[in-house]
Amino acid sequence: MLTAEDKKLIQQVWGKMGGAEEEVGAETLWRMFTAYPPTKTYFPHFDLSQGSDQIRGHGKKVVAALGTAIKNIDNLSQALSELSNLHAYNLRVDPPRFALQLLAQCLQVALAVRLGKEYTPEMHSAVDKFMSAVAAVLAEKYR
Amino acid sequence: MVHWSAEEKQLIASVWGKVSVEECGAEALARLLIVYPWTQRFFANFGNLSSPTAVIGNPKVQAHGKKVLTSFGEAVKNLDNIKGTYSKLSELHCEKLHVDPENFRLLGDILVIVLASHFGRDFSPACQSAWQKLVGVVAHALARKYH
Q: Tens digit of pLDDT for each residue in A62-106? A: 999 999 999 999 999 999 999 989 888 888 887 766 678 999 999
Q: Interface pTM (ipTM) of the complex?
A: 0.85
**Of B56, B109, B98, residue with least CA distance to A112:** B109
Q: What is the pTM of this model?
A: 0.90
Q: Using 70 as the pLDDT threshold, list the residues of chain B that sit under it.
A: none
Q: Which of A124, A127, A129, A130 to mutate to test the interface with B (most CBs of B within 10 A)?
A: A124
Q: Whole domain around residue A88: which residue ranges?
A: 4-139
Tell me which of 3.90.1170.50, 3.30.420.480, 1.10.490.10, 1.20.1740.10 is the CATH number of domain B6-146.
1.10.490.10
Handedness of CA B21, B121, A99, B9 (dihedral sign): negative
pLDDT confidence of residue A140 = 83
Counted domains in chain A: 1
Q: Tens digit of pLDDT for each residue in B108-119? A: 999 999 999 999
pLDDT confidence of residue A97 = 60
Looking at residue A40, which CATH number applies to its domain? 1.10.490.10
Q: E strands of chain B, at which residues?
A: none
Question: Would the CB atoms of A109 and B112 count as touching at under 8 Å?
Answer: yes
CB-closest option in B30, B34, B132 to A35: B132
The whole-angstrom distance between A72's CA and the closest CA on chain B is 23
The string of DSSP letters for A14-35 reads HHHTTT-HHHHHHHHHHHHHHH
Q: Which residues of A touch B118 (CB under 8 A)?
A: 116
Per-residue pLDDT band for A41 (boundaries 50, 70, 90) equals: confident
